[in-house]
Amino acid sequence: MTLPCHLLSFLLASALSNNHVRARVLQEIVPGPSSEAFNGAVASESVECSLIGRDLLARGGNAADALVGTTFCVGVIGMYHSGIGGGGFAMLRDANGQYEAVDFREAAGAAASEDMYQGNVKGSVEGGLAVGVPGEVLGLEYIHKKYGSLPWKTVMQGPIRIARQGFKVSSDLVRYIGYAVRGDPHNFLLEDPNWAQDFAPDGQMVQVGDIMTRKRYADTLERIANYGSDIFYTGELAKAMVQHIQQRNGTLALSDFRDYKVLSRPVRNTTYRGKSLYTVGAPASGSITLNILKTMEQYDRADTRDTNLTAHRFVEAMRFGYGSRASLGDPGFVKGVDQFEARLVDASHVRRTKDRISDHHTLPVHDYDPEHVDLPQSHGTSHIVTADKSGMATSLTTTVNLLFGAKIMEPASGIILNNEMNDFSIPGVPNEFGFEPSEANFIRPFKRPLSSVAPVIAAHPDGTLFATVGAAGGSRIISATTLALWHAIEHEMTMKQALLERRVHDQVLPNTLLLEYDFDNRTAAALIDKGHNVTWVQPGLSAVQAIRRLDDASFEAASEPRQRNSAGLSI
């Protein structure tokens, strides 16, 4: 849906104040696409943040400006799984159709070692030892400096205003708060004064519809707006974070923050049904999405009319794809990763994979995962996509890992710190199936842990933008992103239709196929007959954001329908 700029400004102001415009209502008035939406689009998990991104486009900013403003905002409102205490990856396309894969993933410090959690596995989950060097601030600054057009301070004003003036507590936030404290006799959000200042300012936990502020975090964002990333990596914010981390048994030093670098990774790409796909490779998992799609491309397009058989083939391709992840790791530390990723989309390799898939039954688990190794489950993330009329497009995933990261908030700044060290594999700790941890993902100083993130930008054969897609949802990111692209390209669905389709997920370990509750029962029965171990799950375990550029050059912005506060907006 396209709205005039004056109405856009009104909605943005309303979303930030305590009047009668509610997030759920705002979401419902953004159906799109519109033939008038030629300037650009934004999609994120938060209507307030998508409005900020679209406002930046309305001011003459580009897709990079919209991405940076929206991402900083999502860290304010979706602090339970993202923010400047975390990191991530971005796939970028400039106006000339050139691509860049940006890695701002958290990194281990100089004192880290592969046996640092021996006898203390919980130390990788909570406390200072779980924290990796955050990369989001430097990553967003890198993207803005290279691709943005509006001033840095301008791009950050919306997130600062929302943090200071407040935002309406959504049902999404309340639900994740419930998950974070469930089973814990001590509600840290309520009982710890440091957290309660934001989450229980009057002695009671915030509820749906309340106005929540994060004034310390607003001040922090304002410092970053004024002084850039230096204040975060070498200045007063770095010193405060390091001191707090070390007080909580962590080993990160000021030098770890000072030496952190944003990396430009090789772009992984392939074609699928004529569309060119571009993604971020290891330590992200975009190559796995490409591998699954290339395997499916080996089948005749007409075969998709057999829904039950096609579903089985897709799940089997997914299982082979996930089985390949065990060989991935940070290419700066693991030999042969570049060659392995190239092989994942090689024609002969995907043909062999297709030939190994039986149309009649599943295979033993070790056939999909020949290395017989396990990877840690990855967790919560946020995804943002943007595009503009020049052809620039972005797809970014950011995270603090588990809900509220390491459950550490630096008191003065309000920064919630990640527990990304939990994404490394721990030697000598096999999983419940007896599979050993992946050596490719063992901890090393300065190494970055393997991630499920798979941001993708797709182009038409003539090089013009087709779509930008990505997902949140930990280990389910790969399956959700792949499904959205598959439906949009293979079945020629709109992005909104693709996101509404029921999702499947099978990562080999555990040997379980997850189906959303309202998945087709007949297809589910056919999958069970072929040997799939089906478990039914509630919708909402992954969240996809997508933008498609239509043939008339207008934009379709599609946001996750399973999240009540998400919004895809075009202008």
Q: How far apart are CA 347 and CA 550, in angstroms?
A: 30
pTM of the model: 0.92
pLDDT for residue 318: 98
Candidates 376, 372, 368, 366; CA nearest to 429 is 376
Any long-range contacts for 465-468 (C-beta under 8 Å, 24+ apart)?
465/93, 465/387, 465/391, 465/393, 465/549, 466/275, 466/548, 466/549, 467/495, 467/546, 467/547, 467/548, 467/549, 468/91, 468/93, 468/385, 468/386, 468/387, 468/393, 468/394, 468/395, 468/546, 468/547
Distance CA 77, CA 68 (A): 15
Tell me which architecture the domain covering 264-378+451-549 has in CATH: Orthogonal Bundle (1.10)
Q: Is 474 annotated as a binding residue?
A: yes
Q: How far apart are CA 197 and CA 178, in angstroms?
A: 18
* CB of 565 closer than 8 Å to CB of 24: yes
Closest-CA residue to 456 (of 496, 422, 484, 420)? 484
Q: Determine the pLDDT at residue 331.
A: 98
Encode 472-541 in three state secondary structure. Answer: ECHHHHHHHHHHHHHHHHHCCCCHHHHHHCCCEECCCCCCCEEEECCCCHHHHHHHHHCCCCEEEECCCC
Where does 369-469 have alpha helices with state H? none
Q: Which are the contacts of 151, defined by CB distance < 8 A and separation ≥ 6?
A: none
What is the distance between the alpha carbons of residues 567 and 274, in angstroms, rounded to a whole number? Answer: 29
Q: How far is CA 478 from CA 77, 162, 214, 344, 521, in A?
A: 24, 31, 32, 15, 24
Beta partners for 544?
Answer: 471
Domain ranges of the chain: 264-378+451-549
Considering only CA atoms, give the Rg of the chain.
22
Contact 320, 295 (CB under 8 A): yes
pLDDT at 491: 95
What the block records as the tokens of 262 is 């944003």
Q: Collect all residues with Cβ–Cβ distance below 8 Å to 307 and sequence separation of at least 6.
A: 520, 523
**pLDDT tens for the chain, residues 1 to 571:** 444 443 344 344 434 333 322 222 223 333 333 335 999 999 999 999 999 999 999 999 999 999 999 999 999 999 999 999 999 999 999 999 999 999 999 999 999 999 999 989 899 999 999 999 999 999 999 999 999 999 999 999 999 999 999 999 999 999 999 999 998 888 999 999 999 999 999 999 999 999 999 999 999 999 999 999 999 999 999 999 999 999 999 999 999 999 999 999 999 999 999 999 999 999 999 999 999 999 999 999 977 789 999 999 999 999 999 999 989 999 999 999 999 999 999 999 999 999 999 999 999 998 997 666 666 666 678 999 999 999 999 999 999 999 999 999 999 999 999 999 999 998 987 644 455 688 999 999 999 999 999 999 999 999 999 999 999 998 999 999 999 999 999 999 999 999 999 999 999 988 999 999 999 999 999 999 999 999 999 998 899 999 999 999 999 999 999 998 999 999 9
Q: What is the pLDDT of residue 376?
A: 65
Residue 77 to residue 46: CA distance in whole angstroms = 8
183-202 burial code (b ≥16 CB/10 A, e <16): eeeebbbbebebbbbbbbee
Is 381 an annotated catalytic residue? yes
The answer to whether residues 53 and 42 touch, using CB atoms and an 8 Å cutoff, is yes
Q: Say whether 399 counts as a known binding-site residue.
A: yes
Q: What is the reported pLDDT for 484?
A: 98
Instruction: Check the annotation: does 286 bind a ligand.
Output: no
- 83 annotated ligand-binding residue: no
Reduced to 3 states (helix: H, G, I; strand: E, B; else coil), residue 251 is coil
Biggest CA-to-CA distance, the chain: 63
Taking alpha carbons only, the member of 570, 546, 532, 519 closest to residue 457 is: 546
Residue 183's pLDDT is what? 83
Q: Cα-flanking dihedrals φ and ψ of residue 354, to 5°?
A: -60, -40
Taking the C-alpha atoms of residue 33 and residue 46, their distance in angstroms, rounded to an integer, is 18
105 assigned to a ligand binding site: yes
Annotated binding residue at 452?
yes
Report the alpha-carbon distance of residue 2 to residue 58 in Å, rounded. Answer: 11
pLDDT at 106: 98
Q: Which of 225, 64, 73, 90 is nearest to 148 (CA)?
A: 64
Out of 289, 381, 481, 482, pick the active-site residue. 381
Strand partners, 458: 277, 467
348 labeled binding residue: no
- 85 exposure class (CB count in 10 Å sphere: 0-12, 13-18, 19+): buried
pLDDT given at position 379: 62
Sign of the torsion angle spanned by Cα atoms 189, 194, 197, 201: positive
40 is in an annotated binding site: no
